[in-house]
Amino acid sequence: MNIALRDSTLPTPVEGEGYLSSLNAEQRAAVEHGEGAVAGPLLVIAGAGSGKTNTLAHRVAHLIVKGADPRRILLMTFSRRAASEMRSRVERIAARVLGDKAAALTEGLTWAGTFHAVGARLLRDYALEIGLDPAFTIHDREDSADLMNLVRHELGLSKTESRFPAKGTCLAIYSRVVNAQDELEPILAKSFPWCMGWAEELKQLFAAYVDAKQAQNVLDYDDLLLWWAQMCGEAAIAEHLGGRFDHILVDEYQDTNRLQASILLALKPDGAGLTVVGDDAQSIYSFRAAEVRNILDFPGHFAELARVVTLDRNYRSTDVILAAANAVIGEASERFTKNLWTERSSRDLPRLVTVRDEAEQANYVADQVLEAREEGVALKAQAVLFRAAHHSGPLEIELTRRNMPFVKFGGLKFLDAAHVKDVLAVLRFAENPKDRVAAFRVMQLIPGIGPSAAGHALEAMERALDPALGLQFFKAPARAEADWPGFVELYSGLRTKSSWPADLERVRLWYEPHLERIHEDAGTRRADLLQLEQIAAGYSSRERFLTDLTLDPPDATSDEAGPPHLDEDYLILSTIHSAKGQEWTKVFVLNAVDGCIPSDLAVGERDEIEEERRLLYVAMTRAKDSLHLITPQRFFVHGQAARGDRHVYASRTRFITEPMLERFAQTAWPPPSQGASGRSPQPNIRVDLKAKMRGMWR
Ligand SMILES: Nc1ncnc2c1ncn2[C@@H]1O[C@H](COP(=O)(O)OP(=O)(O)OP(=O)(O)O)[C@@H](O)[C@H]1O
């Protein structure tokens, strides 16, 4: 690549032999696309396990090796973890040619992150130009819903005669309108038909919500994209911004939405230097307004048609697993990707295992996992995947009972835990004194301070020239006398003598007595806060820490057992959504039944059903050597009196049709001769004991 903007301090690249030799012809074509000229737009359609991540990493490394300035490469991934993994891969690949110099070069790859995180950075950079206060803080979904609720109350919409949509629904509608770049009415008609009568009130609510955010100097998740897109609507800024990057590469393009596509097109209207990679068969985020059309329509957006490279050789799974996955996705209605092929042959057909109920499912998985470990497959090389976070409940109990370590991804996020949110709210309030949601949360931790006292304290801060002084002079209610001065002292310190990461420790020390008062399990929660301090040490400033953590929170909180150390072996439990981009030797998919996959929440629209099919496909294509889909026959009905025994009967997921069954080995577990997990087999008889009992008295 002939990029002339190289800094003289960067080492001169050296040509090396063979570092691309492990790639197949299509991968290589994608990596070398545009070499020797300014690269035109490139779309890489990459089937599951076809080396998409690998290819993208090689492309970035290759660009750097050929002289591109890493500081002028923008790389957008789906999560922060994916970005940092990509950076280390790039470094490893580049090191094969550049040796020790590779590290210095890839250090320069500072623009690697999620769309939202990159958006936040750019908005701070251009804040003055676009009339934004650069000290803005970012609201996560829960904070946004709280603010929406506040505004809803203020407008009297919470007291309407028929029930106005709840705060979460209002936020979901707002977010859908923003991300899909559509009008309110069609969105209501399509996705929220029961709210159609409220269109006018919703518009009024959203207008007031926007005012409130601006008055408080906060942005929500959607704003990061929306402001960015609006900022790009100004030709001069768009040109300046686009000119900062010679190459823009986007991974997982199938899960971007219209707003994200419009940003890319504004940055690179002619597509020069633009590479997007994705797989339409793995598009699973339409609930965030992801638009599978983005990828389907990409080639036609530019004067010069984008080059399309298709990767259809799968390196991950055996042929029998792939045949089953291909069969499932083969029934999809609209599709770009061709069927995948592989050279890895095996006779170990994927298994379709029928078990009696979820408890037996848990036993089956635990037994199988242990058996595989005996045969040398580490726990970490095995994963259990499920559609909804609560599906793994019975399995978690069984694993804990057997003392088998596991880590769960995709359930409660670290930052959703109340104690972590409390501590972060203190920091956010210090960063931005106008952030009312943070302020209310923090002040109400203090015994004796309720919403009205908190409101008065905020008013005092707003009136004062310096918010910290305003707080000092505010007279707190007598009930709060004991704890108020400590808080004021903390706040002033955080505002005037801030030091990072020491601020976080200061906040924890202040918070600990409250933690003990509020939560019984203060010990475990304190461990989370210490973990947060460790994370904080990796950030250069309070603002960077808050921004990154809000946008892409770490996954798990420590439960009673404590998180296993990284060098220990543990089983992976994950929602299918969180399993994106990963692979394991052995994969179990729980609850392969209708009502779970497809989820009973998604059985209305055809699009939703299609997305559920793709979810099953994503789950199946995570497996390298062994795949088990489990179908419990009956499910316990929740919400009944203690010891109730009501069940519903389930049937195999509709995505595995009769003709597909030959691609699976069908088994029942436990086999009839053996009995359930060592217990004697259930006798196959039916008696009506209730009638007998009644008969005793007649
Ligand atoms: N050219 C190649 N030769 C050998 N193995 C390869 C090659 N390319 C990729 N692989 C291997 O194939 C597996 C899948 O690669 P990768 O994770 O990059 O796929 P992916 O397309 O991102 O998958 P998905 O979209 O399903 O998450 C990895 O184990 C990777 O090492």
Secondary structure (H, E, C), 456-523: HHHHHHHHCCCHHHHHHHCCCCHHHCCCHHHHHHHHHHHHHCCCCCHHHHHHHHHHHHHHHHHCCCHH
Question: Residue 371: which residues within 8 A CB-CB, separation 6 or more?
Answer: none
For a pLDDT cut of 90, what percent of the chain falls above it?
51
- 247 - beta bridge partners? 73
* Ligand 1 atom, smallest distance to 27 CA: 1
Angle at 274 between CA 270 and CA 278, to 5 degrees: 125
Rounded to the nearest angstrom, the distance between the alpha carbon of 46 and the centre of ligand 1 is 10
The CATH classification number of 319-412+562-639+646-669 equals 3.40.50.300
Q: Is the peptide bond before 683 cis (omega within 30 degrees of 0)?
A: no
Whole-number pLDDT of residue 184: 93
Predicted local confidence at residue 522, as pLDDT: 75
User: Average pLDDT of 462-472?
Assistant: 92
Q: Comparing 387 with 191, which gets the higher pLDDT?
A: 387
Residue 558: what pLDDT?
36
Q: CB neighbours of 298 closer than 8 A, spacing ≥ 6?
A: 41, 43, 253, 261, 276, 306
According to the model, what pLDDT value does residue 354 have? 95
pLDDT of residue 3 exceeding 60: no
CB 297 within 8 A of CB 330: no
Q: What is the pLDDT of residue 33?
A: 94
Average pLDDT over residues 214-243: 92
Please tell me the distance from the alpha carbon of residue 250 to that of residue 43, in angstroms, as a whole number.
10
Within a 13 Å sphere around the CA of 669, how many CA atoms are in the beta-carbon half?
26
Q: What is the DSSP string of 308-328?
A: EEEE-B-SSS-HHHHHHHHHH
| 155-159, 288-292, 669-673: least confident range | 288-292
**Total count of residues recorded for the chain:** 698
Check pLDDT > 50 for residue 565. Answer: no
pLDDT score recorded for residue 685: 62
Asked whether the predicted pLDDT for residue 8 surpasses 50, the reply is: no
pLDDT of residue 680: 54
**Ligand 1 binding pocket includes 24 (Cβ within 6 Å):** yes
Mean pLDDT for 378-404 is: 89
Q: Which stretch of 117-121, 175-179, 522-526 has the lowest confidence by average pLDDT?
A: 522-526
Contacts of 572 (CB under 8 A, 6+ apart): 379, 380, 382, 383, 384, 406, 407, 409, 584
- CB contact at 8 A, 435 and 428: yes
Q: Is the ipTM of this complex over 0.90?
A: yes
pLDDT band at 19 (very low <50, low <70, confident <90, very high): confident
Examine the pLDDT at 403 and tell me if it is beyond 70: yes
The residue whose CA is least distant from atom 6 of ligand 1 is: 315
Q: Is the CB of 76 under 6 A from ligand 1?
A: no
Choices 1.10.3470, 1.10.486, 3.30.67, 2.30.30: CATH for 414-551 = 1.10.486
Domain boundaries, the chain: 25-119+225-311, 137-216, 319-412+562-639+646-669, 414-551
Please report which confidence band the pLDDT of residue 16 belongs to, taking 50, 70 and 90 as the band edges. very low
Which atom of ligand 1 is the closest one to the Cα of 315? 12
Comparing 167-181, 194-208, 355-369, which segment has the lowest mean pLDDT?
167-181
CB of residue 457 inside a 6 A radius of ligand 1 = no
**How high is the mean pLDDT of the chain?**
85
Tell which atom from ligand 1 comes closest to the C-alpha of 46.
21
Least confident of 67-76, 232-241, 399-408: 399-408
**So what's the pLDDT on residue 652?**
94
The pLDDT of residue 449 is above 80: yes
Pick from 23, 54, 79 the residue to mutate for probing ligand 1's pocket: most ligand atoms within 8 Å of its CB.
54
Helix (H, G, I), strand (E, B) or coil at 218: strand
Interval 506-544: pLDDT, tens: 999 999 999 888 877 777 678 778 878 877 887 889 998
Inform me whether the pLDDT recorded for 603 exceeds 70.
Answer: no
CA distance 567 to 432: 39
Q: Cis omega (within 30 of 0) on the bond before 672?
A: no
In this structure, of 224-233, 259-268, 675-684, 686-695, the range with the lowest mean pLDDT score is 675-684
* 25-119+225-311 maps to CATH 3.30.460.10: no
User: What pLDDT sits at residue 15?
Assistant: 44
Q: Check the annotation: does 413 bind a ligand.
A: no
**Is 48 labelled a binding residue?**
yes
- Calpha distance 72→112 (Å, rounded): 11
Q: How far apart are CA 154 and CA 18, in angstroms?
A: 66
Please state, in angstroms and rounded to a whole number, the distance separating the CA atoms of residues 576 and 571. 15
Percent of the chain with pLDDT strictly greater than 70:
85
Sign of the four-CA dihedral 348, 349, 355, 357: positive
Nearest-angstrom CA–CA distance, 255 and 171: 20
332-357 pLDDT, tens digit per residue, is 876 666 688 999 999 999 999 999 99
pTM of the model as a whole = 0.77
Average pLDDT of the segment spanning 172-182: 85
Q: What is the pLDDT of residue 442?
A: 94
Task: Say if residue 50 carries a ligand binding annotation.
Answer: yes
Domains 319-412+562-639+646-669 and 414-551 share a fold: no
Q: What is the mean pLDDT of residues 17-22?
A: 80
Q: Is 34 one of the annotated binding-site residues?
A: no
Distance 315 CA to ligand 1 centre (A): 6
Ligand 1 centroid distance, CA of 339 (Å): 16
Q: Which atom number of ligand 1 is nearest to the Cα of residue 54?
A: 18
